[in-house]
Amino acid sequence: MSDHSSLPVPVEPARATVAAAIALDGEEPPITELFAFMTDAELRFRSLRMRIEERTMTARGESLVIADVLVRHEGWARVTRRRSAEPMSRDHDVWATDGVTVTTYDASAGRASIRPLVRAPVGATATDLPRFARVRLPLTRLPAESLPDTFVHPQGYIRNVALTGVTTSLGSTVQHGRQTFLLRIDHPRSTYVLTDRPDRWVELGVDRQTGIITLLVEHIGDLVTRHAEVVSLEVDPAIPDEAFVVHLPEDVRRIY
């Protein structure tokens, strides 16, 4: 009978805490260099305050979601999503973490949960895995498969979307006071059958200072189906612990 106590314990490699490149050279860097720069986006700030406005166009008309994002390394994050411009509206939800637990609160449904932060599977970051199969652990987690996560941790979007299409540079512009590189991605791979069309293309904006995605516009031909834009971005602000606390009402329904 084998002695399991003598088996080696898998050790995950340490996460990078310093960006490989501090800044980009030139007015229009090569696309491969820009993608590599974007991969280390979250390593170029200690804290972040950001607001994203996302407009989605469907057969029912246009819908707007406003996401307020707070990040403080390591581990602290909060995302508040509002689907109404009315300041007293209950149509909003909150996701917050201290790096150990995650608190969620859906105000419109009156539901909340407090659960441990889900960890990556053991071995998913192993260096002997192919690069495309390796998981890159962020310093600070954000809601999985969400727009804030895509913008702050763009390596997944680069691998799963940008590299699957034909990418060309559109130069640079100034977006809300910040220099932004613009890219066009033609016919990227899509998991949605209805939008997997040859006339589908994406316009991408990248913040020059940090490498964060600040603009994501999805097109089908001349029709815009999604327009997500960072309208406010503050790098390294002072964010107190209280900003990450979710104050739950007494009558909230807990889901475990």
DSSP structure string for 85-130: S-TT---EEEEEE-SSEEEEEETTTTEEEEEEPPPPPTTTT-TTS-
- Please give the share of the chain, as a percent, with pLDDT higher than 90: 60
pLDDT band at 172 (very low <50, low <70, confident <90, very high): very high
Render pLDDT for 20-73 as a digit per residue (tens, 0 to 9): 788 888 788 999 999 999 999 999 999 999 999 999 987 788 889 999 999 999
**Would the pLDDT of 194 be above 70?**
no
Output the pLDDT for position 27.
80
- Regarding pTM above 0.75, the answer is yes
Q: Which residues in 127-156 are b (16+ Cβ under 10 Å) and which e?
A: eeeeeeeeebebbbbbbeebbbbbbbbbbb
How many C-beta neighbours within 10 Å does residue 237 have?
Answer: 13
Residue with tokens 């031909």: 221
Output the pLDDT for position 132.
65
Rg of the chain in Å (alpha carbons): 20
Is residue 152 helix, strand or coil? Answer: helix
pLDDT band at 201 (very low <50, low <70, confident <90, very high): very high
Answer yes or no: CATH 2.50.20.10 is held by domain 29-254.
Answer: yes
Range with lowest mean pLDDT among 78-82, 132-136, 219-223, 229-233: 132-136
Output the pLDDT for position 10.
42
For Cα atoms 150, 102, 64, give the angle at the middle one, nearest 5 degrees.
45
**Would the pLDDT of 224 be above 50?**
yes
The token pair at 213 is 């995605």
> CA quadruple 116, 118, 121, 123: dihedral positive or negative?
negative
Domain boundaries, the chain: 29-254
Render pLDDT for 182-192 as a digit per residue (tens, 0 to 9): 999 998 876 56
